[in-house]
Amino acid sequence: MAAVTHVLVTGGAGFIGTHVTAALLAAGHSVTILDSGHPAAHREPLPATVAGATVRIADLRDRDAVVDALRGVDVVVHQAAMVGMGVDLADLPDYVGSNDLATAVLLAEMAQAQVRRLVLASSMVVYGEGSYACPDHGPQRPPVRTTVDLEAGQFEPPCPVCRVPLVPVTIGEDARLEPRSVYAATKLAQEHLSAAWARQSGGSVVALRYHNVYGPGMPRDTPYSGVAAIFRSALEAGRAPRVFEDGRQRRDFVHVTDVARANVAALEATGTPGFSAYNIASGRPATVGDMARALADVMAGPAPVVTGEFRLGDVRHVVASPDRAARELGFSAGIDLRTGMADFAAAELRA
């Protein structure tokens, strides 16, 4: 494919967006950034540039700003979103407005500007719970975990048939989607909106379902931050990381520089019309307790404390299959958890 001349990166001044912008520039693309500076992600004024790319400060719901930003653009890499579990349901309108209405405005103006290619930052949260199997009854979809079970310390989803704890297995992109939090619902809505846009416009959408992203530039000390940043803040203060449930919940932790490479790979793919989704993951799952211990070890801090606390919006296990991204995008993550945590322990975080 010929080099893309102009990429619009929404949310390009955020945690992941800054790394994506730098990777695109390093690959020879020109980049313009559109970022609202949402206070959930930014506590300081936005910079004038990121890695040399100009930052335009505007909300994606501002149609005039989006029209202006799309002039001369070949591809949009849509990173802008309000992320994380949030504080409580009072956040719901902001999640829907920032994620879904903003995406709808962007897609409508892309259609008008005849920009036909989109790389969408999606998330593993669209799956809800991961994939499971019962030793006796085969593949099963667990029910939503109840407060009663969680308060009793029964964290593993039971088989709906025999109530034996299910065994987590890898989840592929064709799995059933069942979001179980407000944030997850908005990310799935972004996928549905962009798929509808692709069908009606003849455009191409590559949705990258990020798994647990960590690395330099993560926001610190905010309810919208990732668990790795929360643990690091505790260790820096001399406190033990507090690990919810029993610490055995499994995730796939993927370094942000690998995520940035995945965006470049998606942008440089052929751009076949329609919607395609890919897990962006390391393929080397670990428990949240494993991650906390790895970080505590490299920071020489106190050992993690397993608290038994829980959040109703959390799911138990999500173990990703990275095979489709490797096969179709040529992307494989290169940074293992211990190496990544050693880098993360010394990296600068976002205020």
| C-alpha–C-alpha distance, residues 183 and 164, integer Å | 30
Beta strands in the chain (DSSP E): 7-10, 31-35, 49-50, 53-57, 75-78, 117-123, 131-134, 138-140, 167-169, 204-210, 212-214, 242-243, 250-251, 253-255, 274-280, 286-287, 305-306
Question: Strands 7-10, 31-35: parallel, antiparallel or unpaired by DSSP?
Answer: parallel
> What single-letter DSSP state applies at residue 286?
E
Question: Strands 131-134, 167-169: parallel, antiparallel or unpaired by DSSP?
Answer: antiparallel
Q: 3-class DSSP state for residue 343?
A: helix
b/e per residue, 173-193, with b = 16+ CB within 10 A? Answer: bebebebbbbbbbbbbbbbeb
Catalytic residues: 183
H-only helix segments in 305-336: 323-324
Query: Comparing C-alpha atoms, which of 241, 227, 340 is closest to residue 296?
Result: 241
Q: 53 near 32, Cβ under 8 Å?
A: yes
